[in-house]
Structure 1
Amino acid sequence: MTMKSLLLGAAAGIAAIGTAQAADLPMTKGEAVEYVKVCSEFGAGFFYIPGSDTCLKIGGEIRADYRVFGGTGFSRDDNRSAFGTQGRIWFDARTQTDWGLLRSYFQINASGRTASRSGLGDTNKFEVDKAFIQFGGLTAGYAHSFFGFYDNDYGNTIWAPYYAQSSTVNLLAYTAQFGGGFQATLSIEDGRDHRSTGGFAPFQNANAVWVGYNQGGQQFPDVVGQLRLDQSWGGVAVQAALHQNRSGENFLFDVDGDGDLDPVVNPHKSKVGWAVGATALIKIPAIEEGHFIVEGQYANGALHYLGTGNTISSGADYYLAPVGLLGQGKAGKGWSIVAEIGGNITPVLNANLVGSYIDTKYDNSWGPGNPDFGIKEYTIAGNLTYTIVKGLTVGLEVAYTREQRDNDLISAGDGETGPVFDDVKRNVWQAGVRLKRKF
């Protein structure tokens, strides 16, 4: 046997052994890699959640605020500087179904410590801004009230207050589309989210004790209805709301003037307040995003719909007009209006001018034949926002707020009501800068 034959035989044996061992190894297959795909059906920023037909958009922003305050207020807190930082993140998930669009939206805000006159600072705060489900015309969860649309669609101030419905509430609503931009909404909203109770001591009884209107639990939620028309030139809407007010049963105050609190039983009372409003929007074609919008509302026993939560001294839906040592529940009344004009002066410079006014009144709040009590407040604000690069802006705002209280009675602490001060005024101005990174 030649050497060549020996080498060929050895190579064949090795190959046979390797083939036999390879046959004993398990067969493997590379796993399929599923890449994230862009979802263009709902606009920019959406992508398909892997393994599903649901499109998701994740966004957020960081706000860094620097402000100064001044004016002729009633406390040290009215003249100060303040810092504030807030982070926001939101998730918008949408699926197109045979029954219409299924959407869920969730946003959480996290605020950092802010300056306070005590020097200790406020604690960090996390809060749910919105969390709701939409399916066809149904909206369920924690969402913006359907009373008006100025705050939800516009409301382009940076910090300055304005007086309109601006609350996120627990609700269950249905919106019917009739074509041509016309729609109607019926919303059942949590009345506890629409209470206006603070900032106003209703009356002083004969023994110089301030007595408030004690809120009871709600029996039925607020009912809000809106008719709205959206067109290329702008839009209009009218809205109305019903709001229940229930008094608690027991009040404690010093009836005999001996310094001890005595139980006085007032029966449960239930009263229904109401509010109506209208909104008009005109788009300005000559300016990019140009718009003029005005929204006004009137309320009787439902002052929260006026935007009292944004005022210096929020009013009460109901109060106790004195009858002897007891009280009779009466409705607070008022109206408010807000107007805004704005748009992009250049592709990178946006400007807005906002003015707002609120007027609340409490008839015979000091008893029959006594003066009425009223609170009036207005705010004027202007801002400019400059886009430095895409996603990064710097905004400057200046605002002035004036509050006036009519017929404010002050107790001298001796059991007698002191003098009446007409036209008690409070002036507050603020100016500041906001840096915002949105992604």
Structure 2
Amino acid sequence: MNLRLSLASVAALTSVNAAFAADAIVIAEPEPVEYVRVCDAFGAGFFYIPGTETCLKLDGYVRMQIGARGGASYSGGTYAGDYAEGWRFTTRARLNLDARSETELGTLRGFMRIQADATNNADAAYGMDQAMVQLGGFYVGYTESAFVAPWALPGIARFGILHTDDGGQHASQQRQQIGYAYTGPNGLFGSITLENDQNEGKGYMPDVVGVAGISQGWGGVWGKVAYDESAGEYAVLGAAQYNVPGFAGSSLRLGMFYASGVNMYALDMPVSGGGSSEAGTVEWSVAGSYLHKINAQWSATVGGQYFKEFSGDKAYLVQGAVVWLPVTNFEVRLEGSYASEENLRGGRKDDTWSGLLRFTRYF
């Protein structure tokens, strides 16, 4: 009797201890992990920031460029000197961050570009090259002037007339700005932008840039007008692109610039430059360019631009490039430029040339 009672007691205690032991080693279920999800609402490359409805895209490139340039000045057919000549090595790293989300007022966007250029054998300092905030069609921030590359509008209206990377002469500059962009049916687009006139503390009136155009499958037509409030002068650009049927990616461009006087949106002469006075500032210019897409890997372009200066000097510029894409996201570009300028005041003719070989890895 006592033996059976003892065995029963031991069994009971063993069961209780086992129960306590089992309770002691129970591990809580881990919280579910939210993996990165693809966001296809804004195109390829966007993903949702975990825990939010904001889509983020990171892209950019790394490139190395070997450049060279030279030139000469002639007076009465006699060689008078030369420009600085020699090799120029430049390596650039660029990172773009583009955050977007949908709201009841339209797409909310924040864009930032960080960039550095190493032009010698020393580390390059990174800096903010662009930064923009956009809600619907309204935008504010720092980027290229709308007369050069209007924000939030089709790429057809961006930069110069020539198809080369340099793009010919096109009053390149970046500015603080406030604007509104519109893209409508049938490829219609336009924007109005107020730009900082770089005379802070000397009045409250900004410069004004307006852009309007149409972009369709056959090509497009666009125009830009900019008013420099400080100078009281304006500049106008009109251009068109025709996409060649049967040659996908091939196109022909024509354009014209005009300036009423010396201002921030007028073009500089291609050799002498320095458009702070009528000497070196272009009154009008015409340009044309053709890009031929040979196949998926090869393309070539050639173009030219003619200039008439306010003081009477004339000049022309020729640019060309060959581009090779041996694999996806890797580009090899060979580009060259030649400019000749007739200097009536100095009684001489100046010319300059430049070229580059560039290797770029996009991501």
- TM-score tier, shorter chain, comes to 0.7 to 0.9
Aligned mates of 1:106, 1:405 — CA distance in 2: 42
Query: 2:280 matched to 1:273?
Result: no
Aligned mates of 2:49, 2:288 — CA distance in 1: 41
Give the alignment partner of residue 236 of structure 1, picking from 221, 236, 240. 221
Change (3 A) 1:311 1:425: closer
Change (3 A) 1:401 1:47: same
Change (3 A) 1:141 1:75: farther
Aligned partner of 1:186 in structure 2 is 192
Aligned mates of 2:221, 2:31 — CA distance in 1: 56
Q: Which runs of 5 or more structure 2 residues have no equivalent in the other structure?
A: 74-79, 150-156
Offset, 1:425? 2.1
Aligned mates of 1:35, 1:235 — CA distance in 2: 42
Aligned mates of 1:76, 1:2 — CA distance in 2: 119
Aligned mates of 1:337, 1:382 — CA distance in 2: 17
Aligned partner of 1:34 in structure 2 is 34
Letter in 1 for 2:54: T
Aligned with 1:281: secondary structure?
Answer: strand
Aligned mates of 1:426, 1:153 — CA distance in 2: 23
Aligned partner of 2:291 in structure 1 is 342
RMSD, aligned CA = 3.2
Give the alignment partner of residue 352 of structure 2, picking from 428, 431, 439. 428
Aligned mates of 2:344, 2:305 — CA distance in 1: 19
Aligned with 2:310: secondary structure?
Answer: strand
Aligned mates of 1:20, 1:133 — CA distance in 2: 60
2:314–2:343 Cα contact (<8 Å) kept: yes
- Deviation string 1:276-328 (CA, Å, 9 cap, x unpaired) is 22121111232222111222221123443233297542212579xxxxxxxxx
2:163–2:290 Cα contact (<8 Å) kept: no
Give the count of matched residue pairs.
350
Change (3 A) 1:64 1:276: same
1:161–1:311 Cα contact (<8 Å) kept: no
Aligned with 1:42: secondary structure?
Answer: coil
Query: 2:253 matched to 1:296?
Result: no
Aligned partner of 2:169 in structure 1 is 163
Aligned with 1:19: secondary structure?
Answer: helix
Change (3 A) 1:25 1:131: same
Aligned mates of 2:267, 2:11 — CA distance in 1: 92
1:91–1:105 Cα contact (<8 Å) kept: yes
Letter in 2 for 1:16: V
Aligned mates of 1:148, 1:44 — CA distance in 2: 26
Query: 2:138 matched to 1:138?
Result: yes
Aligned partner of 2:70 in structure 1 is 70
1:403–1:427 Cα contact (<8 Å) kept: yes
Aligned with 1:15: secondary structure?
Answer: helix
Offset, 1:50? 0.6
Aligned mates of 1:147, 1:113 — CA distance in 2: 28
- Deviation string 1:197-217 (CA, Å, 9 cap, x unpaired) is xxxxxxxxxxxxxxxxxx993
Letter in 1 for 2:303: V
Query: 2:276 matched to 1:316?
Result: yes
Aligned mates of 1:301, 1:4 — CA distance in 2: 116
Offset, 1:221? 1.0
Give the alignment partner of residue 309 of structure 2, picking from 360, 375, 393. 360
Q: Which runs of 5 or more structure 1 residues have no equivalent in the other structure?
A: 115-120, 194-214, 246-270, 320-330, 363-373, 409-421
Aligned mates of 1:171, 1:148 — CA distance in 2: 13
Aligned with 1:274: secondary structure?
Answer: strand
2:72–2:83 Cα contact (<8 Å) kept: no
2:269–2:281 Cα contact (<8 Å) kept: no
Offset, 1:344? 2.1
- Deviation string 1:151-177 (CA, Å, 9 cap, x unpaired) is 44875424x461124322211111234
Aligned with 1:13: secondary structure?
Answer: helix
Aligned with 1:340: secondary structure?
Answer: strand
Aligned mates of 1:238, 1:187 — CA distance in 2: 14
Instruction: Tell me the TM-score normalized by structure 2.
Output: 0.84
Change (3 A) 1:145 1:356: same
Aligned mates of 2:341, 2:243 — CA distance in 1: 32
Change (3 A) 1:22 1:312: farther
Aligned with 1:180: secondary structure?
Answer: helix
Aligned partner of 1:382 in structure 2 is 320
- Deviation string 1:51-70 (CA, Å, 9 cap, x unpaired) is 11111110121111112223
179-188 or 19-28: bigger deviation: 19-28
348-357 or 4-13: bigger deviation: 4-13
Change (3 A) 1:216 1:297: farther
1:151–1:166 Cα contact (<8 Å) kept: no
- Deviation string 1:207-243 (CA, Å, 9 cap, x unpaired) is xxxxxxxx99354110111221222211112221211
Query: 2:7 matched to 1:20?
Result: no
Letter in 2 for 1:72: A
Aligned partner of 1:209 in structure 2 is none
Aligned with 1:347: secondary structure?
Answer: coil
Give the alignment partner of residue 221 of structure 1, picking from 206, 228, 240. 206
- Deviation string 1:24-52 (CA, Å, 9 cap, x unpaired) is 67873311201000111211111111111
Aligned partner of 2:108 in structure 1 is 102
Aligned mates of 1:376, 1:18 — CA distance in 2: 99
